[in-house]
Structure 1
Amino acid sequence: MVSFSIFRCVFLAFLIIVSFFQVSMGGKYSCKPEECPSRCAYRCSAASAKERCLDTCNDCCLKCLEVPPGTWGHKDLTPCYNSLKTKKGQPKCP
Structure 2
Amino acid sequence: MASKALLFLLATLLQLASEVSSNEKEKRIEMKYVKVPEPATPIPVKAPPHPAPAPPVKSPSPPYKPPTPAPAPPTTTPPYKPPSPPLPPVKTRKDCIPLCGERCKLHSRTNLCMRACITCCDRCKCVPPGTYGNREMCGKCYTDMKTHNNKPKCP
TM-score by length of 1: 0.65
**Which residue does the alignment assign to 1:36?**
96
Q: Which runs of 5+ in 1 are unaligned?
A: 1-27
Structure 1 equivalent of residue 143 of structure 2:
82
- Larger-Rg structure: 2
Alpha-carbon distance in 2 for matches of 1:81, 1:37:
16
Match of 2:110 in 1: 50
Identity of aligned residues (%): 37
Deviations 1:34-66 (A, max 9, x none): 310000000001101000000110011111110
Between the aligned partners of 1:88 and 1:48, the Cα distance in structure 2 is 20
RMSD of the alignment, in Å?
Answer: 1.3
Does residue 1:67 correspond to 2:127, yes or no?
Answer: yes
Q: Which aligned runs of 4 or more in structure 1 are off by greater than 4 angstroms?
A: none
How far apart are 1:88 and its partner, in Å?
A: 2.0
Letter in 2 for 1:91: P
Higher helix share: 1
Structure showing greater relative contact order (alpha-carbon pairs closer than 8 Å, 6 or more residues apart): 1
1:32 and 1:76 map into 2 onto residues whose CA distance is 20
Q: Unaligned 5+ residue runs, structure 2? A: 1-85
Inter-partner Cα distance in structure 1 for 2:90 and 2:142: 12
Q: How many pairs align?
A: 67
